[in-house]
Structure formats: structure tokens, C-alpha cells
Structure 1
Amino acid sequence: MTDYCEEQRNELEALESIYPDSFTVVSENPASFTIRVTSETGENEETVEATLQFTYVEKYPDDPPKFEIATHENLQNSDTADIMSLLTEQAQENIGMVMIFTLVTAVQEKLNEIVDQIKSRKEMEKLLKEKEAEEIEKAIFHGTPVTIENFLSWKARFDAELTEMKKKQKEDEQGGKVKLTGKQQFETDHNLDTSDIQFLEEGNNVEVDESLFQDMDDLELDDDDDPDYNPDLESDND
């Protein structure tokens, strides 16, 4: 007849020796304890962690123990679900034998795999970002290749803009908002050809006050003061 209590007590002593820094007793009756499992990684690498709680049932190890993930760090819901499935599978495979060390070892390996997956995912994300930046730089340098599709799209936008400009110009003309150049003004208004003549004709009617010039004869002006004086002409007259 199997002495379940003896087997359980012996396993607890062994586990406490194997995991001195991570083994913690939760209760004695029924016997329940936790073991903290951390991934094995190099320096400066991200780690993942799970604290497993095991509780013996009356007929353990002929019946599997109860287990759960008490706490965890850097694990996603899918990761914890995978760990629970792994524990269930390993427990069924080891019925009849003390199995806690085997279960913890399986979880340890699983955490290492998760860390490798995280590392690979980050490297892939880095490569994708570098590739995306390279493609953007290449597009800026080389421009967008002309295809039938993008040419037709550009042509449609160009025609629409041109039509809108013509429509606006027509509306401005109808509203008298068009600003004509000098040439266009002369071409459209022939009255501008003779507009300056009226100013010349009006100039003939300017009245001059002759009294302002009555004392001009009394002024003695030197030849040098005369603005019309030209000494060369005087020499020629002599």
C-alpha cells in the first residue's frame, strides 16, 4: 500500500533543497507551496517569470496535483494559457511518480522559448522599420514611377482644376472683376487713343496773368545769369 503522506513529505524536502530561493510554503494541510520560475537569459536581455502554485491531493502522486499560475511578469494571456496546457499534459504523462520537479523544468524550458520568441519578434520589428525607412528614402530619391493608372488619375485632377479656373475666370469677367493690361485696355477701349488730345486742347484755354511779368524789363541780368545765354553764339555773331 502506497504511503502518500511519506512520498509527499520527501518530495517537499527535495524541492526546498533544489529551489532554496524560490520555494515558499503556502499551507501545510493540505500541503501547498509556490515555486518562482524565471527564464534563463544573458545580460541586458528581457526576462519572463511565472510563480507556480502546487497543492497536493490526497492520493498524489497517483492523482495529479492541483496547479495554477499565481503571478507572472512579461507574459501575455496566450503564454499563460500555453503554460497551463503544458502542465496538464506533463501531469498526465507522469501519473504514479512524484512530478513537481518535472513540471517546473518543463515550464522553465517554455519560458526560455517565450524569451527567444520575444527577441525574434523585436529583431523582426527592427528589420521591418529599417526596411520601411529604406523604401521611403528610395521613393523620395527616385520619385513615383509613372504608370497608366497614376497618369490618368493626375490627368483627371489637372482637367478638373483647369475647368474650375476657366469657370472662375468667366464669372469674374461677367462680374467686371477682370484686371486688364494696358494693351488689353487700348484694344477694348478706342477712346483711349484720343484721350490725351483733350488735355492739349484744354491747355490752350489757360489764362495767364500778364501783370506778373511787367517788371521783368527793369531787372538787370548778367549774361551769366541768363539761362539762355550761350557765349559760343555771341562769338559767332562777332
Structure 2
Amino acid sequence: MVGPVKKISNNSKTMDYEEEQEQELEVLKSIYPNELEEIEDKVFRIILEPEESDSSAPLTVALRIEYTPNYPEEIPNISIDVINGTLNEAEKEKLNFELINVAQDSLGMAMIFTLSSLLKDLVTSFVVERKERITKEEEIRVLKEIEAEQNKFQGTKVTVASFLEWREQFNKDMAEKEKLEKSSAALKKEEAKKNKLTGRQLFEQDETLVNSDATFMEEGDVTVDASLFEQEIVYSEEEDENNNVLELVRNNTD
């Protein structure tokens, strides 16, 4: 004879879920005494450090959990807080995908410790990958520097064709340089001719040259007999300029 079937009320199920949640939370507190932070009723987070650390690229995350009314028969609300460092979009997508898959497989049982362990392992793998990538990039950088330094002493390989090309360009450059130097020298010579002053021009532009002789005569240092210059003297064309100078001297002494 089959006894009476007891009907389980929804309230009873709810009480069972709440009891399971409370029991799980107590266990988690004992496992993570310093890492678990209660935010509000049925909401908490567990701070997770990777197994391997990297000071150049630190990464610390927290698994945030919010119990839903029917947990563990349904997946709790799961999110990830980045405490230190950064996660790129690809890493975030991978974490969410892996956590949801494991949560689906764990329905009907306490799963928060499993999710925490999974998240810690994934974060550790990210840190290891980053360290390996940084190490590889540094090795490549050093190799490039060494190669560049070695190339300074190797120089450029010379072939017959490259030498002939260089010699042709060298001859062109030297011819151009010589042409410029000759042109510059001719220009300077022409300018010097244009700017050269005759004796008369010097006296006309600077009267002190004439007055200086007159001053000497006034002081008695030099005596000049102007009548000597009145004698008829025939000068060559080359001496015309000097005659003009003497004429200026005589006029000033008068």
C-alpha cells in the first residue's frame, strides 16, 4: 500500500535554496578569510591574485557573485571586477565564456568555489602569456640593437658597378666645385677692380690726406718752395695722376 504523497511547497524550496546559499557562503568565508568581501545581502566578491605575479604588468581581479532566488538550480549573477591592471576585450570575452560554461555544468550544486578557482587559473595564464610576450619583445629589441651596431662596422659592399657609379658622381661633384671656385674668384677680382681708387680719388674723398701735408708745413717741420712746381715739366700719361695730387697740395698751401 502506497502511503500519502507529500506535496513540497514553493516556500519549502525557497527555504532550502537560502539555506544552501548560507552554508556555501560560510564555507567560502573559511576558504577566503581575507579575500571575501560581503557587499550586501546575498552579494559578495572574492579577490583573486594570480599564482604568478609580474610587477611590470600586474593583474588582480575579483569574482562578484549575486545569489539568485533559485540558486544553485540556476546560475547566479556573475561579474568580474578588475582591482589592479587591465583586461583587454579578448581576455574579458574568454573569462565570461569559460565561467558561464562551467556554471552551466555545475547547476544543482554549490559552484562558487569552482568558479573562483577557474577565474584564478585563467588570470594566471594571462599573466604568464604577458610575461612571455614582454620577454620576447625585449629579446627582439636587443637583437635589433646588436644588429644595427654591427652594421655600423660592416659598411656597404662595393661592386664594380657601384664603384663606377660612385666615381662618376665624384668626378661630377669635383668639376662642379672647381667651376664654382673659379667663378667666385673671377667675381672677387672684378669687384676688386671696380672698387680700387686712384690717387686723386683718394685725396678727393679724404681731404685729411691733403691737409696733413699742409699741417706739417705750418708747424715748420717741412718747408716747401711752391715756386719749384711752377716750372714747366712734361709728364708722361702715367704721371698725370701724381701731378694732380701736387696741384692739390699747392692750392692748399696758398
The two structures have a TM-score, normalised by structure 2, of 0.58
Percent identical pairs in the alignment equals 30
Among 33, 43, 52, the alignment partner of 2:44 is 33
State the partner residue of 1:122: 134
User: Does structure 2 conserve the Cα–Cα contact (< 8 Å) formed by 1:41 and 1:47?
Assistant: no
CA distance change for structure 1 residues 140 and 21 in 2, over 3 Å: closer, same or farther? same
State the partner residue of 1:9: 22
| Offset, 1:133 | 1.6
Q: Deviations over 1:93-113 (max 9, x none)?
A: 222222111111011101111
Which amino acid in structure 1 is aligned with residue 32 of structure 2?
A: Y
Runs of 5+ in structure 2 lacking a partner?
1-7, 191-238, 240-254
Q: Distance in 1 between matches of 2:141 and 2:183?
A: 51
Alignment of 1:210-221 (within 5 A): none
Q: Deviations over 1:71-93 (max 9, x none)?
A: 33123323333322222222222
State the partner residue of 1:67: 78
> Is 1:90 matched up with 2:107?
no
- How many residues are aligned here? 177
Among 32, 43, 47, the alignment partner of 1:19 is 32
> Is 1:99 matched up with 2:106?
no
CA distance change for structure 1 residues 25 and 145 in 2, over 3 Å: closer, same or farther? same
The two structures have a TM-score, normalised by structure 1, of 0.61
Q: Distance in 2 between matches of 1:94 and 1:148?
A: 77
User: Does structure 1 conserve the Cα–Cα contact (< 8 Å) formed by 2:68 and 2:75?
Assistant: yes
| Offset, 1:145 | 3.2
| Offset, 1:120 | 0.6
Runs of 5+ in structure 1 lacking a partner?
180-201, 203-238
Which amino acid in structure 1 is aligned with residue 134 of structure 2?
A: K
State the partner residue of 1:131: 143
CA distance change for structure 1 residues 43 and 124 in 2, over 3 Å: closer, same or farther? closer
State the partner residue of 2:201: none
CA distance change for structure 1 residues 170 and 51 in 2, over 3 Å: closer, same or farther? same
User: Does structure 1 conserve the Cα–Cα contact (< 8 Å) formed by 2:72 and 2:107?
Assistant: yes
User: Does structure 1 conserve the Cα–Cα contact (< 8 Å) formed by 2:59 and 2:85?
Assistant: yes
User: Does structure 1 conserve the Cα–Cα contact (< 8 Å) formed by 2:54 and 2:131?
Assistant: no
Q: Distance in 1 between matches of 2:177 and 2:58?
A: 64
Q: Distance in 2 between matches of 1:123 and 1:104?
A: 29
CA RMSD, 1 decimal: 3.4
User: Does structure 2 conserve the Cα–Cα contact (< 8 Å) formed by 1:39 and 1:47?
Assistant: no
CA distance change for structure 1 residues 13 and 151 in 2, over 3 Å: closer, same or farther? farther
User: Does structure 1 conserve the Cα–Cα contact (< 8 Å) formed by 2:36 and 2:44?
Assistant: yes
Q: Distance in 1 between matches of 2:168 and 2:45?
A: 71
